[in-house]
Amino acid sequence: MSILLLSGSPAAPSSTGRLLDHVGDKLAALGHRHSKLQVRDLPAKALLHADFADLTLKRAIDAVAEADAIVIATPIYKASYTGVLKAFLDLLPQDGLKDKLVLPLATGGSQSHMLALDYALRPVLHALDARQVFTSIYATSQQLVWNDVSGLTVDPAIAWRVQAGVDALSACLNALRQQPDDVFVTQPQPVRLAR
């Protein structure tokens, strides 16, 4: 089972990127492999013009399609997720997250933007047909303290939420891994009514 860490932060380094890496490290410690996609590294012209012929953009869309789970992270600007993330999500097909598990993360300057994940990003994830969108994790910059020597220090309240999110995602991935490959669901047959 593969996990894609999808960063919608336009800045590097950033609190959002550090939180995403922290979650990735926790998932790796549980035995899950992951890759990372920084939307800001995609060619801007191809992204904004929806140039599906661009090889880098095609690879990014394919990375989403091939993932079993996506941890999506964004800073919150003006009460919403970033425009660069929106531009990328707009390129995915209507069912671009079909059968995928999604763990949303966000960072912001204050607690007043906490609900942006639920009213701005979550509806888009559901519209893209995600199998399950886990409880969002939101942290302020004050709850994520970076030190060049010791690395990231996460506030205990956020650390608890991160661990709960990682555990929930890991449990679902492990349950999916246990399902036999030959399990399938038959399509219901139409009922024929006699005349």
User: What would the pLDDT profile of 113-140 be if each residue is shown by its tens digit?
Assistant: 777 888 899 999 999 999 999 999 999 9
Which of 15 and 115 is assigned the larger pLDDT? 15
Which of 39 and 147 is assigned the larger pLDDT? 39
pLDDT band at 191 (very low <50, low <70, confident <90, very high): low
Residue 53's pLDDT is what? 93
- How many Cα atoms within 13 Å fall on the side-chain side of residue 122? 13
Residue 122's pLDDT is what? 93
For the chain, the C-alpha Rg in angstroms (whole number) is: 18
Inform me whether the pLDDT recorded for 194 exceeds 70: no
Inform me whether the pLDDT recorded for 91 exceeds 80: yes
Residues 49 and 128: their CA atoms lie apart, in Å, by 20
pLDDT band at 13 (very low <50, low <70, confident <90, very high): confident
Report the pLDDT averaged over residues 25-37: 95
- 156 phi, psi to nearest 5 deg: -55, -40
Residues 138 and 17: their CA atoms lie apart, in Å, by 13
What is the pTM assigned to this prediction?
0.88
Residue 114's pLDDT is what? 76
Cα 82-84-88 angle, rounded to 5 deg: 120
Residues 105 and 103: their CA atoms lie apart, in Å, by 7
Quote the mean pLDDT of the chain.
89
Q: Residue holding tokens 């939307």? A: 39
Cβ count within 10 A of residue 3: 25
